[in-house]
Amino acid sequence: MIKKLKSLREKKWAQILLIPFAFIYGWVIEMRNFCYHWRIFKTISFPVPIIAIGNITAGGTGKTPFTLFLLELLKSDFGRIVVISRGYGRESRGVRVVSDGQGAILRAVEGGDEPVMIARKCLNVPVIVAERRSKGIQTALEKFKPDLILLDDAFQHRQVARNCDIVLINQHYPLHQAHLLPRGNLREHVRNLSRADMVVITNSDGHPETTELKFLNRHFRGEIFTCRNHDDGLVDMWHKQTGDISHLAGEKAIVFAAIAEPEQFKNLLLAHDIAIADFLAFPDHHAYKKEDLADIYQRAKSRQCRYIITTEKDLVKIEKGVFQEINLVAVSLKISMPDMQKFRKYLLRYIDIN
């Protein structure tokens, strides 16, 4: 469905056809924001600092790597940090404790691929999923007594009051050329960035386009930071380091991924001279079926590949040994930020930590 919508948007006639639907969608979102702004819809406050990480577009900005970055950055300032997410792609409902921070972790089908990935990489961090984040926060307060809560994908989830709103923007997809859903991938009008406290441009080369910066500065008056993803080695089924990605240079491999922007992942591998024999892109948060995995295995075997490569987000959905003798590895990603200490200083101001 997502692939069909993306291909549809590329056609001029479809762009015209989708204008009224985008207008209706935008009107509904603006009415909702109006109700929150004038307190017709109530927000719920909690006795714990909350940082919300979100975006203004539909997917592909790197919220999960950024959440991991924040956990590392703030771990010395807070005794216990809890991550709360909606848990896209899971089959369960309601509040579920994905990880209690002591080792027990739900499967991706119950907890969602991204929350389970965070739980496996940060074994001492409690992770909770809940459609209604307020109920997830209440569970966190009762069970874990957190010093800080990271609220994943929550810029549009306005029911919960927060100390700081961080909005991520992918440099590869300029906002000044974007349109509202379903015509484009904007979740709401760019002018609503005025609600944010900080904006971070992800996948950045450190030099955002002048046109884009001017456009952002018209709608957002706060601090703008940049960061980029880079590979942090290869990992096994439990996200333990198994070597450097450079070891795969020249190796023929089958690659699969179910992420919002698979081409970025493909380009990363090509930059390391990995010979991609076949690249399979599935819809974001795709739940792999037996036939999907059997197809991947047969492709690798018929092309005599020694490796099957995927993302860490996809790795959590694969059972051990499913590809038999062929090595399954995932590329670990890590965020680097040029002004990291300045970013940390600004962030702590919002949550009253000196």
Tokens of 230: 């880079």
C-alpha span between 322 and 138 (Å, rounded)? 38
Minimum mean pLDDT range among 2-11, 56-65, 119-128: 2-11
Q: What is the pLDDT of residues 15-49, one digit of tens each?
A: 889 999 999 999 999 999 999 999 999 999 999 99
| Residue 228 neighbours by CB under 8 Å, 6+ apart | 202, 203, 204, 205, 206, 335, 336
Domain 232-333 class in CATH: alpha beta
Please compute the mean of the pLDDT values over residues 214-235 and round it to a whole number.
Answer: 93
In 10 A of CB 331, how many CB atoms? Answer: 23
pLDDT of residue 5: 58
Whether 331 has a pLDDT exceeding 80, the answer reads yes
DSSP 326: S
pLDDT of residue 20: 95
Q: Please give the distance of CA 130 from its chain centroid, rounded to a whole number.
A: 16
Q: What are 252's strand-pairing partners?
A: 275
pLDDT of residue 7: 61
- For the structural domain made of 50-228+336-350, what CATH number should be given? 3.40.50.300
Please compute the mean of the pLDDT values over residues 316-324 and round it to a whole number.
Answer: 93
Please compute the mean of the pLDDT values over residues 243-259 and round it to a whole number.
Answer: 96
Nearest CA to 85 out of 144, 131, 148 is that of 131
Please compute the mean of the pLDDT values over residues 247-268 and round it to a whole number.
Answer: 95
For the chain, state the CA radius of gyration. Answer: 20
Q: What are 53's strand-pairing partners?
A: 152, 166
C-alpha span between 193 and 221 (Å, rounded)? 9
Q: What is the pLDDT of residues 184-211, one digit of tens each?
A: 999 999 999 999 999 999 999 878 888 8
DSSP 42: P
The side-by-side arrangement of strands in the sheet containing 148-152 is 96-99, 127-129, 81-85, 148-152, 50-55, 164-170, 198-202, 223-226
What are the counts of helices (DSSP H) followed by strands (DSSP E) for the chain? Answer: 11, 14
Q: What is the pLDDT of residues 83-108, one digit of tens each?
A: 999 999 999 999 999 999 998 899 99
Tokens of 318: 């694969």
Tokens of 310: 């995927």
Q: What are 83's strand-pairing partners?
A: 127, 150
Q: What is the pLDDT of residues 343-352, one digit of tens each?
A: 999 999 998 7
Whether 353 has a pLDDT exceeding 60, the answer reads no
Whether 354 has a pLDDT exceeding 60, the answer reads no
C-alpha span between 70 and 183 (Å, rounded)? 33
